[in-house]
Structure 1
Amino acid sequence: MADILKVTTPMSGYDNSTIKNNPQAGQGPQIQNPVDPSKVMRGDNRTDSGGNQEQQLAFQYRSNFGTFLNMIKNSPDITRIFSDIFFQGEEMLTGGVMGEEAQKQIASFFKATQMQEEDVLGFLKEQAESSVRFNGGIFDQLRQVMADTGSVDLKSDILNFIKKFNDMSSGKHILHDIFNTVKDMEGYVFKQTAAQLEEMLKELDMSAAEGDTDKNSSLLKEKMLPFMGRYISANHDMGTVRDKISLLTVLMARYENGNRQEVLQAFTKLTGYQGFRRHFGTTTAEEFGELLGQVDMEQAAGKNQWSDKLIDFLRTGVNGGTGLENKQTFLNIIQSLVVNESVYMPLLHLAFPMDINGRKMFTEMWVDPDEEGSSTQTGVERVARIFIKFEIAELGQFKLLMLYGDNSSALQLYYPEKLRKSEVSIQKGIKGILDKNHIRADRVILQSGEGPSSLVAVFPKIQERMNSVDVRI
């Protein structure tokens, strides 16, 4: 049976798992560039291109992007890991011997996963929308400007504006991180220094609105940071405190970058480009400032109550709240989630457990909303590629691959071997779901077995930077 989504082994050149040896190794020294102190010479036996193709492959493998691909390949399967935890139930995890706070966090999370069948669609939409950081009219228009313009300067200034807006919408979160970082430092300094830091923390305005950063930034830059600098200089403390000051400096820079006036100035600069005015008309910085007053900053910053409960649950597990034997399991889950949020990952990633009418399941989803980059091409249909892994208690793991565009779809479902006799009813159920949502099914293929094991095999786009210049710093 043909594989409609072409989930096959990648073509030669995609796999960096085998690093070939330099064919010149072992041939003895061949001095091609004698040392001349009066000139800047290349290293011996080097070329302007950095060596032959095999040498470049090894170089690429040790790059940041090569490391990312290796992490994708070796990342734990959180669908199976989380399912094992989730299906045990909160009683099994707490064991009746955990602390009260840990039991409270675990119970709160399990309660948040409970829902009725009719609630699932709304829940999925909410999670997808909160995963897309920049949404709404203004950002849709900015995406269109980015797609239409060929100006590198305009694209750079748009990204600068988005960065400032991002830091402004996250202002309260960043300020909270600053507070916690300073509190952590108190445990690594002398009591007198810790008392002075505590007094400075009392001056921080934790209720300051997003964008209103002047007062807190002044305290941090002119008082707190110089104070800690003098402490390190006097005590030669080059350990944990110095590392935390480095983190504090980064947080301070982000907090100050989110100043409201900085955001308005970045918008004003954009109005000087014709490509920008073509989509935004004569919108002024003052008018944009009024729009900012109507923005829900918590939503803009990706605030999501369900996600907060998931984070609290994972934090409880990492801290040993579900038993020390489960600590590494929770660390593996977090590692996998972080890899899927990498700047190199061109896909939207979602993961969530659900308890639907008493039936537990865990779902992990990857979405490429623009399969061929067609959204920037006039008259070309936009096609989405979707890969879903979900495990249902007592049934097993399923994998669904789907191409969707213009209300039509082609999909392929892999199901557990033990359900082979139910294939006809499964196919009938899938078609019923598609018909109910007015989606035309051009082709539906069912197949028993494991299905694709590599995310890269499903989304070759992940490796499109393979031949780019990328080095580890």
Structure 2
Amino acid sequence: MPDLLGATNPVPGYDKATVNRNVTLSPENTQIQNVPDPSKVVRADGRTEQQGSNLQGDGGIRYDSNFQTFLQRLRETPSLAQSLARIFSGREGIVVSSGLSSGIAEELGRLLEMLRMDEGQLTEFLSGQLRTGTRFGGALFALLRNAYDRASSSGVQNDILQFLKTYVDFDSTSHIEGNLLRDLQSMADAMPASFAEKLRDLMAQLQNGIAAGDRKGNLSLLQREIFPYMSSYVERTHDMGTPRALLTMLALNVARYENGSEEKLLESFHQLSGYGTLKSQLGGIDDQSLLLLLRSRGAGDAGSKAVEFSDHLAAAAARAFRGEGSAEVQQAFQNLIAAMLVNESVYMPINHYLIPLQWDGRMLFSELWVDPNAEDEQGRAAGGGQKSMRFLFKMDVQSLGLFDVILTAQGTSVDVQISCPDAAVPFSKQIGDAVSGILERNELRPTRVAVRRMDRPVTLTEVFPKIFEG
């Protein structure tokens, strides 16, 4: 039968029947591509659309895995302590860094004043970070954590996670409202004036609604007026640039804003209290008591020194990004913000704290990383089954340099490894003896205190390999 659908005349020797007969089927032929199946491990083929899966985080940016991108960002992000040391340069409490406007210098001056702490103030500063470092503290979340671990079905676990997600959106209401207004402002700035005028009027209505606490009215305004107007603008002008990208971010923030309402929070809580395993423990909490409990959780830490420090640091960064600092200052703040975002990632399985300090006239910027459940099978066997805790201190000391301190504790036994700069190497014995004395005064037993010269700064993944577990 003639090939009536053929676009061209057939070439002798290359008709379909001949081609099919001449194909050599070989299991090792990489030209034959595998059917994508994430549940199976298959041989290599000629596919090029997937990037490498190097767990070390190097190579190009990964678009197929958020976790791989996190590892890459972790590998590329500079030390937070070193970034702070670049921003601050103190001499008798005066900021002397070049390229600073008067506004940034004022903010950094306030921060320098806060860095003068004694032992009690340092303890309060760290305690404030510990209290504000997690949203899930207190008896209610401890109860939910235990219920999640003991749940016999995935349904209970999913409902607990849904309640936590709703609570996070509820607790972030002011932040989400700020994001909504910033997205709309950026949209209006990127649109022609003829279209931006109406959007600014809608934004003013939203701002008034936020000030009045009218969440339902705000959602109605966003869903029935702002979204249709922006969609109409994109359709009429074919503007696929900044406004369309910001519309995607606006949709995400609106979804969180709707999910974080009191009604959604109470609905997810009632779903939890309906389970038999939780009914006896949660059934006695009425709606108003629950809302009062959740609203008052962070109120006590609003004026703490840790929160005040982060507020002044954020204000200085905002001024720098608005153009009040030189390119060098802006780069230092960019490194600082990037490090903080990586440290607060949902993929980071260890706790992180910041210790900025001025002690005996010398500046010290330190990061403290803590893994309360370090996996150390050899140590656990030797220590009678006790779990290990591992600490990493990264300290940048003015006029001395960078120190790395790795501390592993198991019960009362403590192993310490200290890497110090060249200037401190001649005093290795004194440093070791001083650390041993500190441990013994606190009723701990130093099993080993090793002090050596630093060849290179230690990486987080070397000290905490569980980061690779995702």
Q: Given the two structures, how large is their TM-score scaled by the length of structure 2?
A: 0.78
1:74 maps to amino acid: E
Equivalent of residue 408 in structure 2, options 399, 403, 408:
403
Q: Which residue of 1 aligns with 2:226?
A: 224
1:44 maps to amino acid: Q
Percent identity between the two aligned chains: 29
Per-residue Cα deviation, 1:147-169 (whole angstroms, up to 9, x for no partner): 22232111111111011111111
Return closer, same or farther for 1:412/1:231 CA change in 2, 3 Å cut-off.
same
Alignment partner of 1:335 is 2:338: yes
Q: Which residue of 2 aligns with 1:66?
A: 68
By how many angstroms is 1:179 displaced? 1.3
SS of 2:346's equivalent in the other structure is coil
1:220 maps to amino acid: L
1:239 maps to amino acid: G
For 1:176 and 1:140, the matched residues in 2 are separated by 31
Q: Which residue of 2 aligns with 1:92?
A: 96
Task: Kindly indicate whether the alpha-carbon contact (under 8 Å) linking 1:115 and 1:354 is maintained by their aligned counterparts in 2.
Answer: yes
When structure 1 is superposed on structure 2, of 222-231 and 280-289 the one drifting more is 280-289
Higher relative contact order (CA 8 A, sep 6+): 1
Alignment partner of 1:322 is 2:320: no
Equivalent of residue 157 in structure 2, options 125, 136, 155:
155
Number of aligned residues: 420
SS of 1:135's equivalent in the other structure is coil
Q: Which residue of 2 aligns with 1:311?
A: 314
By how many angstroms is 1:344 displaced? 2.0
Per-residue Cα deviation, 1:329-364 (whole angstroms, up to 9, x for no partner): 332332233222222221122234322342101112
For 1:275 and 1:372, the matched residues in 2 are separated by 31
SS of 2:409's equivalent in the other structure is strand
Q: Which residue of 1 aligns with 2:190?
A: 188
Return closer, same or farther for 1:285/1:406 CA change in 2, 3 Å cut-off.
farther
Structure ID, larger Rg: 2
For 2:177 and 2:204, the matched residues in 1 are separated by 13
Task: Kindly indicate whether the alpha-carbon contact (under 8 Å) linking 2:461 and 2:467 is maintained by their aligned counterparts in 1.
Answer: yes
Q: Which residue of 1 aligns with 2:424?
A: 419
When structure 1 is superposed on structure 2, of 166-175 and 404-413 the one drifting more is 404-413
Q: Cα RMSD between the aligned structures?
A: 3.4
Alignment partner of 1:434 is 2:439: yes
Per-residue Cα deviation, 1:95-151 (whole angstroms, up to 9, x for no partner): 5xx544333333333333332343112111212322223211111221111222232
Return closer, same or farther for 1:119/1:264 CA change in 2, 3 Å cut-off.
same
SS of 1:369's equivalent in the other structure is strand
Return closer, same or farther for 1:240/1:45 CA change in 2, 3 Å cut-off.
closer
Equivalent of residue 369 in structure 2, options 366, 370, 373:
366
Q: Which residue of 2 aligns with 1:115?
A: 117
Per-residue Cα deviation, 1:5-51 (whole angstroms, up to 9, x for no partner): xxxxxxxxxxxxxxxxxxxxxxxx96459xxxxxxxx9535696342
Task: Kindly indicate whether the alpha-carbon contact (under 8 Å) linking 1:318 and 1:328 is maintained by their aligned counterparts in 2.
Answer: no
Per-residue Cα deviation, 1:189-217 (whole angstroms, up to 9, x for no partner): 233433322322332333355xx622221
Q: Which residue of 1 aligns with 2:33?
A: 44
Alignment partner of 1:388 is 2:393: yes
Q: Which residue of 1 aligns with 2:210?
A: 206
Equivalent of residue 455 in structure 1, options 456, 460, 467:
460
When structure 1 is superposed on structure 2, of 158-167 and 51-60 the one drifting more is 51-60
Per-residue Cα deviation, 1:370-408 (whole angstroms, up to 9, x for no partner): 22499xxxx964432111110111122111111234454
2:324 maps to amino acid: G
SS of 2:135's equivalent in the other structure is coil
SS of 2:354's equivalent in the other structure is strand
By how many angstroms is 1:437 displaced? 4.0
SS of 1:343's equivalent in the other structure is coil
Q: Which residue of 2 aligns with 1:272?
A: 274
1:60 maps to amino acid: S
SS of 2:33's equivalent in the other structure is coil
Return closer, same or farther for 1:290/1:411 CA change in 2, 3 Å cut-off.
same
For 2:147 and 2:385, the matched residues in 1 are separated by 18
By how many angstroms is 1:244 displaced? 1.3
SS of 2:210's equivalent in the other structure is coil
SS of 1:52's equivalent in the other structure is coil
